[in-house]
A and B are shown apart, each in its own frame.
Chain A
Amino acid sequence: MGEAPRSLFDKLWDAHAVVAREDGATLLWVDRHFIHEGSFHAFDQLKKKGAGVARADLTFGIADHYVPTRGRSAPIPDESIRHMVDQLTENSAANGIELFGLQDPRQGIVHVVGPEQGLTLPGLLIVCGDSHTSTHGAFGAYAFGIGASEVAHVLMTQTLWQKKPKPMRVKVEGRTAPGVGAKDIALSIIARIGADGAQGHAVEYAGAAVRALSMEGRLTLCNLSIEAGARCGMVAPDETTVTYLRGRPFAPKGEDFERAAADWLSLASDAEAEFDREVALDGAEIAPVVTWGVSPEDALPIDGVVPDPEHAPDPGKAAQIRDALAYMGLRPGQLLTEVRVDRVFIGSCTNSRIEDLRAAAAVLAGRTARVPGFVSPGSSLVKRQAEEEGLDRIFREAGLEWVESGCSMCVGINGDVVPPGERCASTTNRNFKGRQGPGARTHLMSPAMVAAAAVTGHLADVRPLIGTRA
């Protein structure tokens, strides 16, 4: 008799269950814990209790949320921002936690650095006090964001109580067209199911269009799981995963790696595994997407028009559209390609990896940006690689600024903000009101689409711009 078929998520869950209570609450073992400047609340809780860190060897600190993207050699001028970075340094040192600090050549955004360093591996349970921790699921890991009290619990015990989310599968079959990437797939999914569509679920992404994605693309896709309401999203490990990890600094070496790889490949969902919910999209039907409103669910293909609240299905939805249009300064029925932008931003844990920078550079090469903007690579190593490939020159020659790595203008707490009322074409993950600064208007899109907006000065379809180069 065989065992009951299990999904990738079932296998991850079972491998980490220390104790299961009758009511379903399960104590899970944590393999990796990433901390950043925001973790100070948790360290304050530890200090209050006089408690220490249980497994400093499984905890890694990364300075990303508050780090400056310019003038790194000088001290951070804003005292309260400097204090945030200093607190992380002090808390890490006091507890023996390895830190990728401001001056470390490996510094970068936690969700870029983890994979890049081989700290993120298939089969691991990974947590971080940041909602975009779902990103690491790209490797077939169970990765999710947690709050400060949970961070404190993990620091003290290396475990966390969870109830099992319901399994959900999102299948994207077919082939996406040139100019259409992981960001377009993810925003299309969110537009379809809603920003709360996957709440309470663990999402597995599957299908030919997902398998065809590089690790960078899968990271973008899983990153945006939280924008559909799912705390975690994942892709089963395959040869793409294994090839990416071979030789990474913290990944297993030699024979250990081969044994690990065999284990990782066995994590894929069993053929008969059942899912609580299934969603299917056709990759061939996905067009480049932009957001028009103040939630990632407010996303449409670039050849669409701004929605009309008069045509909304119910008064609640109509009110939501009216409110979004008032904030965004848009009119119903307006062509999306008529929307002029004031600036562009390329960066964030969603889209700042080497492949993202290449896609933007391919559009910008030999062209000039009509609006100001800057590019913040996902890590200092991505920055170096991009410079070796000459991408920094393309961005600079197009008129964009090439800066250091960090969360930067995605959340604006290091001082990189969009001025009030200005409109920004952005590769980030949240078009929430005020997200990029008070009064800032954000349109989310892929790096190639941001490049298209930069060279045209308005929201634009990137496909004709790459077509002429074919």
Chain B
Amino acid sequence: MEPFRHLAALACPIARANIDTDQILPARFIRTPRSQSHAPMLFHDMRFDADGKPRRDFPLNRPQWAEAQIIVARRNFGAGSSRESAVYALADYGIRCVIAPSLGDIFASNAVNNGLLPARVAEAKAEELIAALEHGAAEVSIDLEAQTIRAGNHVMAFAIDPVWRMKLLNGWDDLDLTASFRAEIDTFAKRDAERRPWAAPAR
């Protein structure tokens, strides 16, 4: 995975709470294989009307935000279903960071596994950022090492789990890491089978 250190990019405000993974990628699209771009399906029913035409009132459809690589939203972004396809849709569109006061745990974990930064800011700071973006601020710069977000005159700290931060900074893949503990896993499995014989399914 590509390491994530700094990002300076256009940011799009979506001033809504509870944008769940069904809104990010509706369930009817989750059978799509990874080899196919998920970008056209991103926020599908928020972005397009029933006839498939772009909805004018959806921020990502505005020319100034169409090329955004950062999304700023209200609380509980990515709640709900564990579908990793929601992250594929964001990533395929070009989104590399989501900033919100709170984010769904499974979504955030999936995001990190795909090199996308889930950044938490205080509710008031998210509102400040949304207002700044809606009033003409465009570029936002993010420093993952320092855990800061800068947009014009606004500077704020963001929170991220330290384990996820290290993983993104180094571009680590869990599987490589796990492979180095092969012996420990085998030893554990052997001892555990003695300690908890009932844990194996009785067949």
On A, residues with C-beta under 8 Å from B are 15, 18-19, 21, 23-25, 27, 29, 31-32, 38, 40-41, 44, 57-58, 66, 80-81, 83-84, 118-119, 121, 123-124, 129-131, 145-150, 153, 156-159, 161, 163, 194-196, 199-200, 226, 229-231, 249-253, 256-257, 259-260, 263, 294-295, 297, 316, 319-320, 323, 411-413, 420, 430, 432-435, 438-439
Extra pairs beyond A119-B201, A297-B18 (13, CB < 8 Å):
A57-B201, A84-B31, A118-B202, A153-B174, A157-B175, A161-B163, A161-B174, A229-B102, A263-B196, A294-B18, A413-B27, A430-B80, A435-B22
A residues less than 8 Å from B114 (CB atoms): 149
The 3 A-B residue pairs with the shortest CB-CB distance, nearest first, are: A260-B198, A147-B110, A147-B84
B residues less than 8 Å from A38 (CB atoms): 30, 83
Nearest chain-B residue to A152 (Cβ)? B175
Nearest chain-A residue to B30 (Cβ)? A38
Chain B interface category by residue count: 35 or more
Distance from B185 Cβ to chain A, minimum over Cβ atoms (Å): 6
Residue B117 CB within 8 A of the other chain:
no
Nearest chain-B residue to A146 (Cβ)? B82
Q: Mark B72-89 against chain A: 1 for CB-CB distance below 8 A, else 0.
A: 001110011111110100
Interface of chain B residues 15 through 41 with chain A (CB within 8 A) = 15-18, 20, 22-23, 26-28, 30-31, 33-34
Q: A15-B196, A18-B185 are in contact. Are A250 and B202 (CB under 8 A)?
A: yes
- A23–B189 alpha-carbon span in the complex (Å): 24
- Is the CB–CB distance between A432 and B22 below 8 Å? yes
A residues less than 8 Å from B113 (CB atoms): 147, 149-150
Nearest chain-A residue to B110 (Cβ)? A147
Nearest chain-B residue to A315 (Cβ)? B127
Residue B178 CB within 8 A of the other chain:
yes
- Is the CB–CB distance between A253 and B202 below 8 Å? yes
- Is the CB–CB distance between A411 and B27 below 8 Å? yes
Interface of chain B residues 97 through 116 with chain A (CB within 8 A) = 102-106, 109-110, 113-114
- A420–B82 alpha-carbon span in the complex (Å): 25
- A263–B23 alpha-carbon span in the complex (Å): 43
Distance from A444 Cβ to chain B, minimum over Cβ atoms (Å): 13
- Is the CB–CB distance between A231 and B105 below 8 Å? yes
Contacting B109 at CB < 8 Å: which of A15, A21, A150, A263? A150
- Is the CB–CB distance between B198 and A252 below 8 Å? yes
- Is the CB–CB distance between B105 and A229 below 8 Å? yes
- Is the CB–CB distance between B104 and A199 below 8 Å? yes
Distance from A287 Cβ to chain B, minimum over Cβ atoms (Å): 24
